[in-house]
Amino acid sequence: MESPSVRLAVGISEALVKLAVCRLMQPVMQTPKLRLICQEDEFEDLLAEFALHRLDLVLADRPAPSNRHLKVYSHSLGSPDLSWYAPAPLLAAARRGFPQSLATVPVLLPTSHAAVRSRINHWFERLGVKPKIVGKFEVSALLMPFSAGGGIGVFPAADQIHSELAERHHVKRIVACYGVAEHFYAIGAHKKVLHPLVQKLLPG
């Protein structure tokens, strides 16, 4: 008799970089008979789906807000530092006089939809840099291809995915975005018995 499949339904916030999501999901990806269902949506909509028990877990860039009607745990999955990356045509200009160079080279940023955007804004303010923003992306999956494929701007990304950025998008690291980190959270149910695959994804 064939063993049954193991179903895992995961909600993924649109603000999360998908290369990072793949890394976060690695602990369960080799599970035999895995039937993985991924739903990408806005953070608030994912929490609503979770409350209706349509999702086993939500991956996001922020913890769940306090809500006495929604019994959840927010588990930190790490806070990797950010660095700035550039396609080859912009690399030399971006490195020259950094960070003031970001006022002259084109810059791509996430929208305020992403929690990290406010931290990037504070970094600019602290250094007295007014960036030359040429693109804002609500869906993180679009930002890197536009930079790499179109060569239209430099962008910040988590050091955690440095090797994937270099191999897949052929962009180069400019320098660290000192003092700014991306945050990853797994939001799960507040109960004693968790989905076995959810347990694998959470920190020990």
Verify that 106 and 50 share a domain, yes or no. no
Verify that 177 and 97 share a domain, yes or no. yes
Q: Are the beta carbons of 80 and 176 closer than 8 angstroms?
A: no
* Containing structural domain, residue 104: 81-181
What CATH code is carried by the domain that includes residue 27?
3.40.190.10
Given this model, what pLDDT does residue 3 score? 63
Report pLDDT digits (tens) over 168-186. 888 999 999 999 999 999 9
Report pLDDT digits (tens) over 94-124. 999 999 999 999 999 999 989 999 999 999 9
Res. 90: pLDDT tops 80: yes
Q: Are the beta carbons of 133 and 159 closer than 8 angstroms?
A: no
With respect to residue 148, please indicate whether it lies within any of the assigned structural domains. yes
Question: Residue type for 90, please?
Answer: L
Verify that 59 and 44 share a domain, yes or no. yes
Question: How much is the pTM?
Answer: 0.88
With respect to residue 173, please indicate whether it lies within any of the assigned structural domains. yes
Report pLDDT digits (tens) over 15-31. 888 888 988 999 999 89
Residue 87 φ then ψ, to 5°? -70, 160
Verify that 152 and 111 share a domain, yes or no. yes
What mean pLDDT is predicted for residues 67-88?
88
With respect to residue 1, please indicate whether it lies within any of the assigned structural domains. no
Q: How many domains does the chain have?
A: 2
Burial 69-92 (b: 16+ CB within 10 A, else e): eeebeebebeebebbbbbbeebbe
